[in-house]
Every structure is written in C-alpha cells, then in structure tokens.
C-alpha cells in the first residue's frame, strides 16, 4: 500500500456483500477510482477486485476498532473527504448511532436516528402506511409478553428491528419464518425470543404469488431540499430462496410501475427522510394492488440495477454530500435485465410467460451481470464467479421459493404436477440457451 493516496473524495464501505460491490462499481464507473471496503475477510463479491482497496478489521461492529481503522484510512488518504456507507442494516445503524464520533472529513449519508427508526422499524413503518393510506399486509405486532394474534394461516413471522436480530446466531435461525398453524407459529416465536431477541415481532398474513409478483423500489431524496429526485423500480424475476438470504433479488427487470409511485412519494414526503431508500413490495393478486413490506434506509443488495439502467447511484451521493449541489430529478431510465444467474438457469427458473421477455433482453444486449464486470480480469476472481454460478444451480433446486413451500403444503399433488411439468419442458431449451451464451 502506498504511504498516501490522492483523491478529492473517497467511498468507504462497511461489509463486503453484493450491495457493497455494486456501490463500489458505481463509484468506479462514475469517477474512475476504487472504493475502500472494510470487512473481516475478503468475501466473494470483492475478492481480487481491482476496484476495491480492502482493509481488514476483525470486528467491524466494534465502533472503537472501526474508528482506529478510519484513522488509518485518513493517513492513507489525507486529502480525501470521505463518504462512509453500510452495506447492510447493522452497519447503517452503527453509523447512525455513532455519527457524532466522526470528524468533519467524514460524511455519513444517512438520516438522524429518530427518522431512521420511524421508517425502518417495521411496526413504525406500518403505522406510517396506515396514516398515509398505503396498503400493507394484515399485521399483528407482538412482544415477549404478548404473543397472541388473530390472523388466518399461513403467516409470516419476522423481527420488527432487523439489526437487533441480524447479530444473533442460533440453530434454526431464518430471515423470515413461514408458519402453517398456531403450534408452528408459537414454536418459532418462542425460538426467536429464547435466543436473545427482545424486540417486537411482526406476524403477517402471507400474500400469495410467485417471485415475479415481488418488486424493489429504490428512491433518492436530496438532503439539500428534501425533494424526491429518483424513483427506480425492479420487477423481481427470481428471489433468493435460502433461509438466511430470502428477499435478496437474484434477477429482475427494470421498468416503470406507475401504480406504486404515488405511494412511495406519500411515504417519503411524510417524513424528514433523505438519502437512498429501498422498498420491498408485492403485487397482491387477490386485491389487485401492491402492498408494502418494508423500507430500508440504504441501498439494497441489488442496487447496481439502478446504475445499470442509467442513474449512477454514486453521483447522487457525491453531488448531495460532497459538492452540495442541487440535484435534478431523473425522469428516465433504460429498461434492462439484471441478474447474478447464468442464462440457462435464469430461463429455467422464470415462469413460462416471462421467458420471452428474458430472451428479448438478451437479444437486445440489455443484460447486466454486474459481478462479471469486463474490467475484472483476475483469474482467481473468475474462478470464484464460476463456482458461485454453479452453486446457484444447487441452491435454486434445493430450496423452494416461499410460494412453492405453501403450494407443497396445501396442495401436494398439484405442486408435484407443476414441478414435473416445469422440469420436463426445460432441458432442451436450457441446452439451446447454453450453446448461445
């Protein structure tokens, strides 16, 4: 490492997940400079990357250790003003909680604690939805003393305070739990509280629909004038089905969805929020409307879809927090397909009605596999990406989606017929697509 490095500004990212790499990509493509990533080890997405300067820290959640690492970064990049980011909820909450301990050279591009809790704690978010007339699933809010609810099954059980839950480790832990009867729900609720979680729990009616009914909304509100500058929608095609990562999009199509735009505007305008927000939504076929699940006060793991569609996320941060200039509202975005999956696997996983859309994007050259950036040439990185691609085959065939779990539970024969049909009509197509890659 050089003794000093010259940059006008520098992105410093806590954590090395896909979202961290997507943000580093945005900074590299906009400003031709690498970003610093702080993590306990080099995770796959940042492994052998030319756009990342990695700083090892054994315990990134230890604020005193973190401040020591930041002092070293200050010495290595003495001229640069720093923007510090969290790649998941735990890191963002750490920055929000301790923003007063950062020097004036460090910009924390997240809202103050009161506003952060208002929009990210799920019980508070649903209260906001209720006030603004925005649809969300039927919900009961529980605590350790009150574990009773009255909802039809199946239900989803999940923590209201994600960061408090995220740091726990125990056997049987899942990001969310789907429960089919009262006994199963009681057992999962007891499991969560027994293993150290003390906050509120959300119990929610399950909204039917395959992955293609899910959506991600990424919005940017400028700190300078508190006006909405960007609203970008991704229609999910394939969601990660693994228990620890459910809710992370593996593929999606970027397009406009006017039906959700007004709701997003109302929710953000009702708060003092600024910066990037990521909403998770789902189309409720039974009621012909979109329902909102949550707001994350940060960029999501698939944030590169926003950059790839023509709105580089790094520029919003730099213009707002470094140069402190007015940001023009973005009214255009290119329709693209983003994916971390190989083409044959993606075509196999999407519903029949979506396959022609996927083929169209490939034929038009409007597909981004952002982890496979052309400027990343290290052989070890390419080997990791190949192994990762193969692992997705294993993951997606071993773990069913939430909807398929429900189908299998409620209609086992129908599920079996549907699965056999999907398996039988795909191999020839997949082989042809593999030859066209």
Helix (H) or strand (E) holding 170: none
Compute the distance between CA of residue 281 and CA of residue 286 in angstroms, rounded to an integer.
15
State the pLDDT confidence band at 2, using cuts at 50, 70 and 90: very low
Longest dimension (CA), the chain: 66
Strand ranges in 52-205 using DSSP code E only, listed in sequence order:
52-56, 81-86, 106-107, 139-142, 155-159, 177-179, 201-205
148-159 tens-digit pLDDT: 999 999 999 999
Give residue 1's pLDDT band: very low, low, confident or very high (50, 70, 90): very low
In tens, the pLDDT along 42-100 reads: 999 999 999 999 999 999 899 999 999 999 999 999 999 999 999 999 999 999 999 99
* Residues in the chain, overall count: 437
Domains and their CATH numbers in the chain: 9-108 (3.40.50.20), 138-205 (3.30.1490), 211-398 (3.30.470.20)
Average pLDDT over residues 131-140: 98
Q: Are 373 and 34 within 8 A, CB to CB?
A: no
Question: 194, 236, 197, 200: which is closest to 215 by C-alpha?
Answer: 236
Backbone angles phi, psi at 341, to 5 degrees: -95, 150
């Amino acid at each position: 490492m050089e003794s000093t490095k010259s940059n006008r500004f520098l992105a410093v990212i806590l954590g090395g997940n896909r979202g961290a790499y997507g943000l580093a990509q945005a900074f590299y493509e906009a400003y031709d400079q690498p970003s610093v990533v702080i993590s306990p080890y080099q995770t796959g997405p940042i492994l052998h990357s030319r756009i990342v300067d990695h700083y090892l820290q054994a315990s990134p959640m230890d604020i005193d250790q973190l401040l020591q690492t930041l002092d070293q970064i200050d010495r290595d990049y003495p001229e640069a003003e720093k923007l510090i980011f969290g790649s998941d909820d735990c890191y963002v909450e750490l920055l929000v909680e301790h923003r007063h301990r950062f020097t004036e050279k460090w910009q924390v591009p997240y809202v103050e604690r009161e506003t952060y809790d208002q929009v990210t704690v799920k019980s508070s978010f649903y209260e906001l939805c209720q006030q603004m007339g925005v649809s969300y699933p039927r919900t009961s809010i529980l605590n350790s003393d009150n574990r009773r609810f009255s909802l039809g099954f199946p239900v989803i059980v999940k923590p209201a305070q994600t960061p408090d839950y995220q740091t726990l480790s125990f056997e049987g832990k899942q990001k969310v739990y789907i429960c089919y009867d009262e006994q199963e729900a009681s057992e999962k609720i007891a499991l969560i509280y027994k293993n150290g979680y003390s906050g509120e729990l959300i119990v929610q009616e399950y909204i039917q629909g395959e992955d293609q009914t899910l959506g991600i909304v990424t919005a940017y509100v400028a700190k300078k004038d508190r006006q909405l500058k960007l609203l970008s929608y991704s229609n999910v095609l394939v969601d990660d089905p693994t228990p620890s990562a459910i809710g992370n999009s593996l593929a999606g199509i970027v397009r406009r969805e006017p039906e959700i735009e007004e709701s997003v505007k109302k929710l953000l305008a009702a708060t003092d929020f600024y910066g990037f927000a990521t909403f998770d939504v789902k189309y409720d076929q039974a009621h012909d409307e979109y329902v909102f699940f949550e707001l994350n006060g940060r960029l999501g793991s698939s944030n590169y879809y926003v950059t790839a569609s023509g709105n580089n996320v790094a520029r919003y941060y730099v213009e707002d927090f470094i140069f402190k200039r007015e940001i023009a509202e973005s009214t255009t975005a290119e329709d693209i397909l983003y994916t971390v999956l190989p083409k044959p696997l993606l075509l196999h996983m999407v519903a029949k009605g979506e396959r022609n859309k996927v083929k169209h994007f490939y034929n038009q050259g409007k597909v981004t596999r952002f982890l496979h950036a052309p400027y990343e040439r290290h052989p070890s990185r390419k080997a990791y990406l190949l192994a990762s691609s193969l692992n997705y085959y294993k993951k997606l065939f071993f773990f069913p989606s939430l909807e398929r779990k429900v189908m299998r539970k409620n209609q086992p024969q129908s599920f079996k017929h549907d699965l056999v049909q999907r398996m039988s009509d795909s191999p020839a197509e997949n082989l042809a697509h593999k030859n066209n890659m």
